[in-house]
Amino acid sequence: MLTKGDDFPIHQLPVPISEVGTERNFYDRYFFNGYNNDGEIFFAIAMCVYPNLNLIDGSFVLVAGGIQHNFRYSRVLGQERMNTEVGALKVEVIEPLKKIKITIDDKKYDISASLEFEGRFEPVQEPRMTLMNGPKVSMDSTRLTQHGRWTGNINFKETSVDVKPEEFFGTRDRSWGIRPVGSPDAQPVPPIKLPQFYWLWAPANFEEFSSHVYFVDNESGESTHSHSVLQMSSEQQTEVLGAPQKIITYEKNSRRVLKAEFYSQKVDGNEVRVIIEPKYRMFMCGLGYMHPEWGHGMYQGDNESMYDSYDLSEDPHDPPFLHVQAISDFTVLMNGQTSKGIGVLEELLIGKHKPSGFEGLLDR
């Protein structure tokens, strides 16, 4: 089927843009977060198309006064992947790889926003991530990550937020490929075993630079995928750091990270040490991640929406609340200097992890 995308010179194969192969779990996602200098105001946006499920969904999260407000939207895609609007939420590319605009106008739930993200640095292409479940590919994706500043406003009932670029940093990512979405597969791959996924993803912003580190570990604690990057304002350059390592301290009787210390090496051999201390946690199920009813790629109807909220003083620590972004204070030590910044530590820790002492699916 021909769609609007076919009028752009972006084809990769001798087929229309609407065709992405036979994998039902193909996805193409936008993600954004934003926070003020002390992290007391936080917002996040997700939007994703699922061409072979013929669905698009999106979500907006606002954290203010210790409450997480979740707005979710879903509709039938109609195969038009260029129409990045679902319900009251719209994502618009103003300048590719530089400037993106997000608008929301939801009179039903009394939320409106006009937000513009502008990159501080060039996007970073993270290494391709491929994970297997026996003979089956369970995840195969590419992600770009970009740090930036926000401009605009958010209005929700009596809450009004003036989003100024000198006060609001954030990070966006674009990922696409294959990952489990929609309904579970009808026939799991034998032999059946407990799921395992150890994921730490930590983008942060400082006045003069940004940092980004992530890890994916297997059951024995070996990092099968890791990446560490430093971007400096003064030089407008991106340096990929080598040999990333970590030391993780957990809260008592918990899988929540109390403190994380990441170590990497610059090209000149000098060490870069990143210390992360979480302030509070935002539950990613507010954006659809692991949500039992409004999970990514789940059919809700032709055009549906919902709202709910979470009290962030409570932490269920169980599905679907395992996946979090912890708004965190960051300290970077390098070249004899100490710098303070703010960012997130995304945590999803499921199954065994020998260095942490995790032996079961959700033991603490």
Q: Give 191-226 pLDDT, tens digit per residue.
A: 888 899 999 999 999 999 999 999 999 999 999 999
Sign of the CA dihedral 184, 185, 186, 189? negative
**Calpha distance 21→52 (Å, rounded):** 8
Q: Give me the residue label for tokens 């942490």.
A: 356
C-alpha 150 chain-centroid distance: 17
Q: In degrees rounded to 5, what are phi and psi of residue 144?
A: -110, 140
Q: Is 223 helix (H, G, I), strand (E, B) or coil?
A: strand
Task: For residues 275 and 259, give the distance between their C-alpha atoms in angstroms, rounded to a whole number.
Answer: 7
Handedness of CA 22, 23, 25, 29 (dihedral sign): negative
Q: How is residue 207 annotated by DSSP?
A: S
How long, in residues, is the chain? Answer: 364
Say whether 132 sits in a helix, a strand or coil. strand
pLDDT value at residue 188: 85
What pLDDT score does 224 carry? 96
Which residue stretches of the chain have pLDDT < 50?
none
User: With contact defined as beta carbons under 8 Å apart, do 106 and 304 qualify?
Assistant: no
pLDDT at 74: 98
Say how many C-beta atoms besides its own lie within 10 A of residue 294's C-beta. 22
Q: How far apart are CA 221 and CA 223, in angstroms?
A: 6
Of 38, 56, 58, the closest CA to residue 46 belongs to 58
For the chain, domains (ranges, CATH) are: 12-356 (2.40.370.10)
Chain centroid offset of residue 107 CA: 27
Looking at the DSSP assignment, which residues form a beta bridge with residue 31? Answer: 46, 173
192 forms beta bridges with none
Task: Please tell me the pTM assigned to this model.
Answer: 0.96
What's the confidence (pLDDT) of residue 264? 97
CA distance 121 to 146: 7
**Residue 237 has what pLDDT?**
85
- Rounded distance, CA 265 to CA 299, Å? 46
Helix (H, G, I), strand (E, B) or coil at 257: strand
Structure tokens of 345?
């530590």
C-alpha torsion sign, points 85, 151, 328, 173: positive
Q: Can you give the pLDDT at residue 233?
A: 86
